Amino acid sequence: MTAAPAPVHRRRVAVLISGGGSNMAALIAAGQPMDAAYEVVLVLSNRPDAGGLARARAAGVEAIAVDHRPFGKDREGHERAIQAELEHRGVEVVALAGYMRLLTPWLVRKWQGRMLNIHPSLLPLYPGLDTHARALAAGDTEAGCTVHLVTEGVDEGPILGQARVPVQAEDTVETLAARVLGAEHDLYPAVLSDFCRTLS
C-alpha cells in the first residue's frame, strides 16, 4: 500500500484592493485548486464601494472593507485596523492588487519579505502613477508589468517577476493599459505561486 501524499499547505493570502479587482480575481482563481501553492482567504478594501468586494464574495472569498476615511490623517491607525483583520485570519502573505494607499513604514515592516505588489510598468521604469502615458510619451517599443516585494520606497522593492508586451504604433493609453492588464493576470498568480512555494 502506498501512503497518501501529504496534503499541500496552501499559504493563506490576503489581497488588498481599492477598485475593480481584476488582478484579485485572477489571484483567487489560481489559488482555488486543492494543490495550489496558496489560497486567498481574505480580500480587504480601503474603499467600501470597491467593485472587487462583490466580485470576491461571488467567488466564495470573504471580503471586507476597512474604510480609511474615519481615521483622517492617522494612516497608521488605519493600518493597525487592517493588521488586526489579517492576524485574526492567520494571513501569511499579503498581495497588493490596485491598493491605492501609500503604506506607512509600520505596516511595511510588519510584512517585510511577505508583501507583494504588482505595478503596470517594467520597473525601475515609471514608478508611481500614469505609467502607460509615460511609456507612450517616451516612444517605448515595449511595456509590461512587474511583481515586486514591498519595501518602504514606492515601487522600489526587489523584483520577483516581469512580463513584457509590445507597444503598437496606434496604441492609446487605454489600449496599452488593456494589453498590460492581460499580462498582469498571468504574471501575478504565477509569481505569487512560486513565491509561496519557496517560503519556509
So which residues are the catalytic ones? 119
Q: Rounded CA gap, 30 and 90, in Å?
A: 20
Name which of 23 and 83 has its Cβ closer to ligand GRF: 23
Smallest distance from the beta carbon of 21 to ligand GRF, in angstroms? 5
Q: What is the smallest separation between the CB atom of 8 and ligand GRF, expressed in angstroms? A: 26
Alpha carbon distances (Å) from 25 to 54, 65, 105, 146, 182? 11, 17, 28, 18, 12
Q: What are phi and psi of 149, to 5 degrees?
A: -75, 145
| Closer residue to ligand GRF (CB): 28 or 118 | 118
DSSP 121-184: S-TTSS-SS-HHHHHHHTT-SEEEEEEEE--SSTT-SPEEEEEEEEPPTT--HHHHHHHHHHHH
- Closer by beta carbon to ligand GRF, 19 or else 161: 19
Nearer to ligand GRF, 98 or 189 (CB): 98
The residues binding ligand GRF (CB under 6 A) are: 17, 19-24, 97-98, 118-120, 145, 181, 184
Give residue number: closest CB to ligand GRF: 98
CB 94, CB 13: distance < 8 Å: yes
CB of 186 to ligand GRF, least distance (A): 13
Q: Which amino acid is at 79?
A: E
Q: How far is the CB of 99 from ligand GRF (least distance, A)?
A: 7
Contact between 99 and 175 (Cβ < 8 Å): no
